[in-house]
Chains A and B, each alone.
Chain A
Amino acid sequence: MATSTHKHRTLLKKVILSLIALIALSGIFVVLMNGHNLAVLAPAGLIASKEKTLIIITTLLGLFVVIPVFILLFSIAWKYREGNSKATYTPDVGSNRLLEGLWWGIPATIIVILGIITWQSTHELDPYKAISSTTKALNVQVVSLQWKWLFIYPDLGVASLNYLPIPEKTPIHFDITSDAPMNSFWIPNLGGQVYAMSGMSTQLQLMADGVGTYRGSSANISGEGFAGMTFNVESMTNTNFNNWVKTAKQSADTLGDVTYTALALPSKDMPPKNYGSVASGLYNNIIMKYMMPDDGSGISM
């Protein structure tokens, strides 16, 4: 008997010690995170904030099961430990329809709720669905290259490399393709990612709430220089954006078939750059060259 109370005490000590350790650990994590961009939880755009809400709701629904599991697990483990001879012992009870029904039922109910949320949110946040806004959407064509990002503004006739200026509070419609191994186009502060694949065009809609600079990157490995495929998204006022377009147009660099072919060659950590003009149909040509054999005209593989 004496040993068993002793055992309890050491166990209790262990529990308290682990709790202290856990709190200390959380402290460390909070310190480490402090002042840094927790992008997914710090949305700066319409889509990202809706996704954040969705993440929080789903987490709460999950905790609805997880917390009871933890409470049951540890309280039952404690109560029916071998040392506790006072606890009831029924070695031959092997089933209970009611209880089993309960834990088929409760998770099922939660999944039904979550299923409805999923249906609704997946359609609402479909990356192909245009954002409804009074402002007209800006089109940006995104090309992932080895290992950099090219952004073409087809309606404005300019392009930029590894730098994505956008006007604030304006829906941005991205068409995304790749002239490289598959990448994934991700700006966590503004919203979730979509793959960039050669011979295909995917879409994404994002909108920034205000002015700010956000990090974008490739989320899918695409070879040696993949880690350097980052770029800054700069959300600016309409005036500033128009000024940028003007500056870009004055750039001596232009993007034609020849310059593009040179650009598409593998290179790492390229500094941002503007292009004053872009050959029309460049984006489509990049897609089409994977669909048909090269006939000698246009850009080569």
Chain B
Amino acid sequence: MMDFLLGGLTPSAFVHDPLMAGAGYAMVGALVLAAVGLTYFKRWKWLWKWMTSLDPKKIGVMYIVVAVIMLLRGLADVLLIRTQQATSVGNSQGILSSDHFQQIFSAHGTIMIFFVAMGIIFGVLNLIVPQQIGARDVAFPFMNSVSFWLFAVGMLLINAPLVVGEFAATGWLAYPPLSELQYSPGVGVDYWIWSLQIAGIGSLMSGINFFVTIIKKRAPGMTLMKMPVFIWSVLCSMSLVMFAFPILTGTLGMLSLDRLMGMHFFTSGGGGNPMMYINLIWAWGHPEVYILVLPAFGIFSEIVPVFSGKKLFGYTSMVVALIAITILSFTVWLHHFFTMGAGADVNTFFGIMTMVIAIPTGVKVFNWIFTMYRGRIRFTTPMLWFMGFVTTFTIGGMTGVLMSVPAADFQFHNSLFLVAHFHNMIIGGVVFGAFAAFTYWFPKFTGFTLNERLGRYAFWLWLVGFLLAFIPLYILGFMGATRRLDHYDASLGWQGLFIVAGIGALLICAGVAMQLLQVTVSIIKRKENMVGTDPWNGRTLEWATATPPPEYNFATILVVSTRDAFWEMKKNKVVSEPTYESISIPKNSGLGVIIGLFALLVGFGLIWHIFWLALVGLVGVIIVLIIRLTSDDNDEVISAHEVRMIETAGGGA
């Protein structure tokens, strides 16, 4: 009976070593504290309004809040990893057991990719895409809310092992047979599977949503070749989501069938084929890298022209390059395992395809640089992040090309050289891009800019910290240091470099602290940094809305006739006579949150083999979906009069 009720869940599952328990209970404590605060300040209703909102701007903010919290979690993991590797030498075993260490780096990778990078990207998309295409909303506002709540539930599940159970100790991609029941009998891998499965389905829905939004909701006159390059980058990135994420869903599904039902997809023995998993996971995984980095390219394609006071150089080749990268990114997955022993012909093909991607990427870098040529460049923080991006990304690109040559890759694969390379691409590309975007678009939603001086400090801390953290890893790779080692021999002489890398990680943490300080100071002293609706002399339509933008973004739908539509409007002094009309917007809906909760039950039930709970969750999801899909009254109308009131009160400038 207890087995039926509680599955594999026993009291001992709540027992952890002090370090993990500390982290877990700190998180629970923070939640309790938040709950107390909400009650004390009577803010529950306010919170519920946020949680149930279908306004992409609010959803975008929620994505970013989650991503920032997860960034802190991921950084805490980094500090543990770095401490372990700097101290666990020779006779010393460091601060962590091997199993715990392996759980931590697995969590670090998974969290940073799925819940930080993806969170930031979808946050930015929600905030910017509708406004930049001159639309009032995304194509499917309710689905957008569901996407977010599935993402949030994935986030809960990946942090739950801090309190109950354990996390996967198999690396962020959980290669079988290690991740199969035979070698990982605990719940760790199941947490990994269901966290990603649920969040991944959310991402897939977001992908469809933004793709359709861009295709269908653009302002009249904005033809494809008049779209801002950021929108192009999102369109490409979302098509990658549409093609790549179903592969992830299928692959995770098969792995969980192996673990739950004793199937033999990827087991060693029983007729399973672990290599199939590795192929499939990278058929998703490589496009995933571009899903993250293409929007970052798009962000820089917006920032460089604005701060150079000049048109983007080579718009057409930028678009062609984006499309080329999108298509090519599906033809290179095998370069993640040249060492599997495929023949020389196969390896050559995938090696060359990988190098070919360097061409359109290089074109983009040259175009950005030539956008600056004969411009008037203002070196505000977003531009600093751009300079940092080109510097680090170019180095990362070079080490990437180095590893795309199969025979050379045999010496780099799974070494710390590889670890340094992909951090070079993800931090230099995605993270720096996200920070540039944050500084650039922050005043759009708040009316004041971020403190410039603290922003610069943060940038330099990040850049120097980055170099200190990862140059040693490149060198360690040459010394034969493989990734994921919880211990090594003192005679190898690696310790000094690991310590330097640890100092680098500390500097990066200081950079993050500086950014938190920057936001706090900027909010406190916001009066000093008040700006109008167009603080940077922007070029695209998001700067044409009020600040902060009203829920419907645009009172009057703008008609576009050129690229850089807002720039042209300013230049030609187009003042559209406001004719207010009634606007229909989606009502708040709590059903997204409820679907998320039921999905949580499904995930938790399957992880702990509490099958009745999973069934309740599944039936719940289906019923809520039927309720929502069969209801016809989901919109509310803001009358023309109210729109006029909002527009004139908000300055409407």
Binding site for B on A (CB under 8 A): 21, 25, 28-29, 31-33, 35-41, 48, 50-51, 54-55, 58-59, 62-63, 65-66, 69-70, 72-73, 76-77, 80-82, 87-96, 99-100, 103-104, 107-108, 111, 114-115, 117-119, 121-129, 180-182, 184, 186, 188-189, 191-195, 197-200, 202-203, 215, 217-228, 230, 289-290, 301
Interface centre among A51, A70, A193 (most CB of B within 10 A): A193
B374 and A90 within 8 A (CB)? yes
Query: Within the assembled complex, what's the spacing in Å between the Cα atoms of A125 and B317?
Result: 37
Q: Please name 19 further chain A to chain B contacts, defined as beta carbons within 8 Å, in addition to the given A32-B500, A39-B480, sorted by A numbering.
A: A29-B475, A31-B496, A37-B480, A39-B478, A51-B407, A58-B401, A77-B387, A80-B374, A94-B315, A103-B367, A111-B352, A115-B355, A117-B405, A121-B405, A122-B405, A192-B409, A219-B413, A221-B178, A230-B489
B653 within 8 A of A: no
Q: Contact: A195 with B479, CB < 8 Å? A: no
Other-chain residue from A118, A184, A194 in contact with B405 (beta carbon distance below 8 A): A118
Contact B394 A66 (CB under 8 A): yes
The answer to whether residues A227 and B487 also contact, given A39-B479, A80-B372, A219-B482 and a CB cut-off of 8 A, is: yes
The distance from the CB of A95 to the nearest CB of chain B, in whole angstroms, is 5
User: Chain A residues with Cβ under 8 A from B175's Cβ?
Assistant: 181-182, 220-221
Q: Which chain A positions have C-beta within 8 A of B487? A: 227-228
Looking at B359, B404, B464, B500, which has the most chain A CB atoms within 10 Å of its CB?
Answer: B359
Contact: A73 with B391, CB < 8 Å?
yes
Cβ-defined contact, A184 with B365, below 8 A:
no
A37 touches B406 (CB 8 A): no
Q: Which of A29, A77, A122 interacts with B471 by CB under 8 Å?
A: A29
Whole-angstrom distance between the alpha carbons of A93 and B390 in the complex? 22
Q: Once the chains are docked, how many angstroms separate the CA of A50 from the CA of B308? A: 46
Q: Is the CB of A227 within 8 A of B178?
A: no
B395 close to A122 (CB less than 8 A)? no
Closest to B417 in A: A40
Check A107 against B362 for contact (C-beta < 8 Å).
Answer: yes
Quick one: which of B177, B183, B367, B414 contacts A100, CB cutoff 8 A? B367
Instruction: Assess whether A36 is in contact with B362, with CB atoms less than 8 Å apart.
Output: no
CB pair B311 A290 closer than 8 Å: no
| Cross-interface CB contact of A95 among B309, B313, B414, B468, cutoff 8 Å | B313
Distance A192 CA – B363 CA, assembled complex (angstroms): 32
- Which secondary structure dominates chain B's binding surface? helix
B interface residues, how many (CB within 8 angstroms): 98
Q: Which B residues contact A (CB, under 8 angstroms)?
A: 98-99, 102, 169-171, 175, 177-178, 183, 268-269, 274-275, 308-317, 337, 339-341, 343-344, 347-348, 351-352, 355-356, 358-359, 362-363, 365-367, 369-370, 372-379, 387, 390-391, 394-395, 397-398, 401-402, 404-415, 464, 467-468, 471-472, 475, 477-480, 482-489, 492-494, 496-497, 500
Whether A70 touches B394, Cβ cut-off 8 Å, given contacts A115-B355, A192-B411, is yes
Are B407 and A122 touching (Cβ within 8 A)? yes
Do A119 and B348 have beta carbons less than 8 Å apart? yes
B407 and A224 contacting across the interface, CB-CB below 8 Å: no
A-B contact pairs, 10 of them (CB 8 A): A36-B479, A36-B494, A40-B412, A69-B369, A81-B377, A100-B363, A182-B175, A195-B337, A219-B414, A289-B269
Residues on the A chain within 8 Å of B337, using CB:
195
Taking CB atoms, residues of chain B closer than 8 Å to A58 are: 401-402, 405, 408
Q: Which residues of A contact B398 (CB under 8 A)?
A: 59, 62-63, 65-66
Measured between C-beta atoms, what is the minimum distance from A81 to chain B in Å? 5
How far is it, in angstroms, between the C-alpha of A199 and the C-alpha of B355 when the chains are bound? 33
Q: Is the CB of A40 within 8 A of B480?
A: yes
| Complex alpha-carbon distance, A39 and B480, angstroms | 6
B178 touching A181, Cβ below 8 Å: yes
- Contact between chains at B394 and A93 (CB < 8 Å): no
Chain A nearest CB from B268 CB (Å) reads 4
In the complex, the answer to whether A198 meets B268 with C-beta atoms within 8 Å is: yes
Taking the nearest CB of chain A, how far is it from the CB of B387, in angstroms?
7
Taking the nearest CB of chain B, how far is it from the CB of A35, in angstroms? Answer: 7
The docked-state distance in angstroms from the alpha carbon of A28 to that of B312 is 41
CB < 8 Å neighbour of B475 from A33, A115, A128: A33
A130 to chain B, nearest CB (A): 13
* A184: chain B residues within 8 A (beta carbon): 339, 413-414
Assess the A197–B311 pair: CB atoms within 8 A.
Answer: no
B375 close to A193 (CB less than 8 A): no
Docked-complex contact B484 and A193, CB < 8 angstroms = no
Q: How far apart sit A164 and B480, CA to CA, in the bound complex (Å)?
A: 17
Are B407 and A125 in contact, with the CB atoms below 8 A?
A: yes
- Closest residue on chain A to residue B184 by CB atoms: A223
Q: A76-B369, A95-B315 are in contact. Are A89 and B348 (CB under 8 A)?
A: no
The answer on a CB contact under 8 Å between B401 and A62 is: yes
Assess the B311–A94 pair: CB atoms within 8 A. Answer: yes
Q: Are A91 and B102 in contact (CB under 8 A)?
A: no
**A contact residues around B480 at 8 Å (CB):** 37, 39-40, 186, 188-189, 215, 217
Q: In the complex, are the beta carbons of B486 and A227 less than 8 A apart?
A: yes
A103 to chain B, nearest CB (A): 4
Contact A223 B414 (CB under 8 A): no
For the complex, give the distance between the alpha carbons of A125 and B373 in Å.
44
Tell me how far the C-beta of A241 lies from the nearest C-beta in chain B, rounded to whole angstroms.
24
Of B317, B390, B405, the residue contacting A54 (CB under 8 A) is B405
What is the CB-to-nearest-CB distance from A223 to chain B, in angstroms, rounded to a whole number? Answer: 6
> Closest chain A residue to B273 by CB distance?
A199
Identify the closest chain B residue to A11 (Cβ). B379
Residues of B near A77 (CB, < 8 A) are 372, 377, 379, 387
Find the residue from B177, B407, B479, B493 having the highest chain A CB count within 10 A: B407
Query: Which chain B residue shows the least CB distance to A69?
Result: B394
Q: Which residues of A contact B486 (CB under 8 A)?
A: 227
Q: CB distance B352 to A119 under 8 Å? A: yes
Q: How far is the CB of A146 from chain B (nearest CB, A)?
A: 8
* Residue among A48, A122, A228 facing the most chain B CB atoms (10 A cut-off): A122
**Min CB gap B135→A, angstroms:** 25
- A79's nearest neighbour on chain B, judged by CB, is B373
Tell whether, in the assembled complex, residue B405 and residue A192 are in contact, meaning their CB atoms are under 8 Å apart.
no
What's the minimum C-beta distance from B528 to chain A, rounded to whole angstroms? Answer: 20
Contact of A37 among B268, B366, B479 (CB under 8 A): B479
- Asked whether B377 lies within 8 Å of A94 as measured between CB atoms, the reply is no
Chain A residues closer than 8 Å to B391, beta-carbon distance: 70, 73
Chain A residues closer than 8 Å to B358, beta-carbon distance: 107, 111
Q: With CB as the reference atom, state the residue of chain B lying closest to A50.
A: B407
* B121 CB to nearest chain A CB (Å): 25
- B497 and A123 contacting across the interface, CB-CB below 8 Å: no
CB of B650, distance to nearest CB on chain A (Å)? 31
In the complex, residue of chain A having the shortest beta-carbon distance to the beta carbon of B97: A224
Does the CB pair A118–B351 fall under 8 Å? Answer: yes
Select from chain A the residue with minimum beta-carbon distance to B361: A107
Q: List A contacts of B362 (CB < 8 A).
A: 65, 69, 103, 107
